[in-house]
Structures are given as structure tokens and as C-alpha cells.
Amino acid sequence: MSPLRTLAFGALVLPLAAHANDPYSYAQPDEVRVTHLDLKLKIDFPQRQLDGQATLTLDWKDPKANALILDTRDLNIASVESVDTNGKTAPLQYALAARDKQLGSKLTIQTPQHPHEVRVLYTTSPAATGLQWLPPAQTADKKQPFMFSQSESIHARSWVPLQDSPAIRFTYDAQVTAPTDTRVAMSAPNDPKHPLNGDFSFTQTHPIPSYLLAIAAGDLAVKETGPRSAVYAEPSVVGKAAHEFEDTEKMIQTAEKLYGPYRWGRYDILVLPPSFPYGGMENPNMTFATPTVLVGDKSLVSLVAHELAHSWSGNLVTAASWRDIWLNEGVTTYVQGRITEALYGTRQATEEDLLSIQSLQKELPSLPENAQRLAPKPSNIDADDALSDVAYSKGSWFLRTLEQRFGRETFDNYLKSYFNHFAFQSITTEQMLTFMKPNLIDKYPGKMSWGEVQDWIYGTGVPKDAPIPDSPNFATIDKERSAFLAGTLTADKLDAKGWNTQEWMYFLDGLPDAPPLAKMQQIDAAWHLTGTPNAEIGMRWYVHAINAGDKSAWPAAAEHMTRIGRMYLTMPIYAALAKTPDGLAFAEQVYAKAKDGYHPLTQQAVETLFAKAKASKQ
């Protein structure tokens, strides 16, 4: 989103066990491993719960093992039984441990006879951390309720009892019962022509980790965007989404030319209601996406390039622990940039790289040394906190450095061989390095030393010689911003009519944290940023306006915060307001109105922020 172990390297990389027990999972995969999940679910919108039956196929590793241990969180377990190869069932004794705040409750099932399958009947809690239930009023069309999952990092256990670790991969079948006017989608091949008959079946033939298990259900229309892709969204949104994502097939073909065939069959995109807490989630076959990327000019579709890239880095080759998450996100961010460059040009790709670098450079000084490492030492951070600019931006910066040192063609061939070698496996950073040393570093001597590689992976900060790309447009914006702040250029004379989203983001990111109020008022008078429908620009604008003391922007900021549940675009505004007593009181009023429309993860983040703000003022 974390810890395993790191080694002190000399000249040789020694691999760690690929499947050491995950500190964020109770599972004991060295004793028994789930290989397949047969899932039956009934969606109960009035009760905000799933009625579930999970049948787990088991591969027993240790002849002495006498229990199957599963991860759960807030599940009501009705019964547990064994299933033999002939389908005969027998009840099993089990114990559900007390709830741990982070890990949930360990489910220990006594299995001295090593059954072929174990079946668990259960219901989920209305407060399941991995599910959000929206009443009709909180959807775009306001006609039907909506439900969707967010399993990453360790939230799958809140809606299915399983071994909830990225090191453990399984195939799955699912049968889902829903109201007859509801469409269901899952992280498996979806049929865009499936009738709305209340009975949906899914089969995922490729082994996936639990965090990629996903489901959504609601009033969903479908528009195909290519021979193997479609957009799913509420009826009022689907047309706009199909237009924004009409280049999906081109993206797939571009990635295939670089890194080999797309191995998952279909690639569909589900546009969720605004409460979705993230930009996108790379669920196999069905990317879940935020509606905040639908700005009409395709300037934010790199989010789709990112989630598609996960079909190689993350879904095909997966980090074995949350400590190794940069193997998913850093590699994917690099591949995203290559897709963006091929389809939308060097300008946009370079500008996105520079925004990523700028964000990382701003964040690094505030991070503990261990959090600055791509592969950190063991720590006690929450699994959800492993995802940071370090994993994304430092990881991709490392790969861009490798590309520059070894040449694009050589590095492309290496990366393609990496994906092929580890296809459908979960690996550690050390396993990646074991592959890299003979196949890249030693194969092409004199390009990069092993010590430099180690510095990128295990060192703090970013190496001083890390390459930074040039952007003439950004250089011009730097000059105009400086002249504006110095008073030699008025806001209405900024050459901003042709700025794209990335260039506005760069201009605003470069302003002082608390700019002079008069300067902010001049910008708004000239360019009307208050009330902008572009959420990326809006988030940055409102943070600066609040920090400058411009209370006239607060109502529009509140509308933004209420409309959007994506944490990246909402939390900075809450944080800016929480700096002052008046702002904190206003933020609490906004949250009281917006809370019911937020995902549980967003609610937790806001409430934690408020608690810290109040504690700091005591």
C-alpha cells in the first residue's frame, strides 16, 4: 500500500523466501495454501450486507498441520464444514478470535484430516471496510442503490474469509444473486451483453492475490470502446466516459508492443460514483475508476494508462508483501509514462514525470528515513500507509534512470523478459534483484554499478545524479510565476489560455504554501478557478486560497469536498482548513454533511485528521 526483511548486500544478491508469512495476515501458507475460491454471494441492499458462501480449495504443504487459519474482519460466521473430493460435507470446529483493530479476527478451523475443501457460510457487516453501500441519493442518477468493493490493501477479509496476503494467489468462480434491475461486475471477464436477470456468474482462470478480488453492483449501462474493452457507468455518465476512454484499445496495443501480449482477455473500465476513495484500482479485467478523470479533454486519462499498465506490473507480476509495493506501483508508473508518451506525446509524459518528481521532492523531507526507502526495513506502519510517493515516484524514477543508462531498446527487452519470467507470481524485491543482476547489470557492464542499484533500493532520499527531464513549457511557467509573484506581471497577462491540466497543476504547485491574499484574488479574477469542474486544479486552488486566508473560496471548497470522495483530491483541503480554529469548525460542518457519502477509508482519514488537529491545539 510493508514489512518483510532486507539483507545487507555485498556483491551478490541472496533471495529471501518468496512466501515468508505476511505480518498483515494471520494465514500460515507454509502449512496450507488456498488455490481456488468458489464464491456464492447474495446482495442485500436493504440490510447493506452480502450473504456469502466461500468454498476454499486447499493445497496442504505440511503433513503435521492441523488447522486452516483465515483472515476475517467483522464477518458473522454461520457455519464451517469440510468438503471431500466426492462432495461429501462434514461440520468442522472453529474459533473466531477477538478483533484486532488493523488485522481483524483470526478464524482458526480445526482440520486434522486435511480436507480437499473447506466451506464457510457467513454474512458481512454493514460497516465492512472493504465495501461501500450507497443509497440512490448518493449516485449520479439517484435511481438505484449502488455497492462496490475496495480490497486493497487488506480489506478483502471484510467481505470474504480467506488468506488475505499478496503472496497467496488463487483462481475463483463466483455466482452472484442481485435484484433484477441491477448489473453486477467483478474482477474477472465480464459480458457486456449479460441480461439483467439477477443471476451473474464469473470465472477468473488466472491466479490473483486477494487484494484484486472485486465486486460492484448498481444501475450500470455499458458502452463498448473496442473489440475487447467497454465502459461501465451509470446511464447519465456512460456516454461521457466512453468518449474520454475511447483510446483504450490503442493503449492496450501500445503496451503489448512494448511488453508482450495482454494476457487477461477483456479490459473493461467501471466508472464508480464520486465517493470512490482512490483514482483507480487495477482489478483484473475491470479497472475501477474515479469520475474525477472525466474532464472532457483526455488530459487525465493517464490514470487509465496506469491501471492498464498494472496488467503487467502488479497483476501479472505482484509484490509479495506490502513492503515490496514499489514493484507494483513504481514499475507501473514507469510503464504508464511510456504508454502516455506513445499516445499523447512527449510533452504530456514529461510534464507528468516532473509533477511526480516535484511531489516526491516536497514529501521526502517530512518522511522518516525508513519510509524513504523503496524496500524499507521492518516497521509497524499500517498496510494502507505503504502506498506513498516513494513507491510510485521514486520507483518510477529508478526505472527511468535504468532506461537512460542502458538505452531504451535494451531496457525494454529486459523489462519484457522480467514480466515473462515472473508471470502470475508474487515476488519480493530481493527476487527482482536476483533476476536483474545477471540479466541487466552484469550483462551490460559499465552502465550502472551494483552499488548504485542498492542505493536506489535501500538508500534514503534520491541519488544526487538522478536524471530530471526538461520541459520548455514548465520553464516558461516558472518565469511567469516568478514575475507574477514579484509584481512585474499581472495575473491577466499570464499566458495561460493554452495551459493543459498538468501545466495549471505545475503553476499552482509552485506557489508559496501561503501566498498573499491579493495575489490569489488577482488570479481568480482573471482565470475563475473558484468553482472549476477540474478536480485536480480545484484541489490545489482551494488549498492555496484557504492558506492565503480567502474565506470567499470556502463555499466552493465545501462543494468540492462534498461532491468528491477521492482522498487525494479531498484530504489536502480538509488539512488546510484544520490549521485554524475557524477552518476546523467549518471543515467539521462540511464533513457532517458529506460523511454518509464517503467511503469508510475516507471517513477514517478525515476523523484521524480532526483528532490530530484538536490534539495539537491543546
Active site residues: 307, 392
353 membership: H or E segment, kind and range: helix 346-363
> Residues with Cβ < 8 Å from 616, sequence gap 6 or more?
none
Backbone dihedral angles phi then psi of residue 13, each to the nearest 5 degrees = -90, 130
CA–CA dist 351, 346 (Å, integer): 8
CA–CA dist 269, 245 (Å, integer): 9
CA–CA dist 575, 572 (Å, integer): 5
Q: What 3-state DSSP class applies to 175?
A: strand
CA–CA dist 425, 317 (Å, integer): 6
- What angle separates helix 326-344 from helix 395-406, to the nearest 10 degrees? 60
Give the cell for residue 47: 440490510
CA–CA dist 179, 405 (Å, integer): 56
DSSP codes, 361-383: HHHGGGS-GGGGSSSPPS----G
- C-alpha dist (Å) from residue 567 to 355, 574, 588, 600: 18, 10, 16, 11
Q: Give yes or no for a contact between 594 and 557, defined as CB atoms under 8 angstroms apart.
A: no
Before 165, cis peptide (omega within 30)? no
Q: Give yes or no for a contact between 508 and 477, defined as CB atoms under 8 angstroms apart.
A: no
Give the CB-side neighbour count of residue 14, counting CA atoms within 13 A.
6
Q: What share of the chain is helix, strand, coil (3-state, %, to 5)?
A: 40, 20, 40
Q: What 3-state DSSP class applies to 315?
A: coil
CA–CA dist 531, 477 (Å, integer): 23
Opening angle at CA 451, ends 450 and 454, nearest 5 = 90
CA–CA dist 275, 292 (Å, integer): 10
- Distance between the two ends of the chain, CA-based, in angstroms? 32
Q: What 3-state DSSP class applies to 417?
A: helix
Pairing outcome for strands 131-134 and 89-91: unpaired
CA–CA dist 479, 481 (Å, integer): 6
Neighbour order of strands in the sheet with 49-60: 89-91, 76-83, 117-123, 49-60, 32-44, 169-177, 199-209
Give the CB-side neighbour count of residue 303, counting CA atoms within 13 A.
24
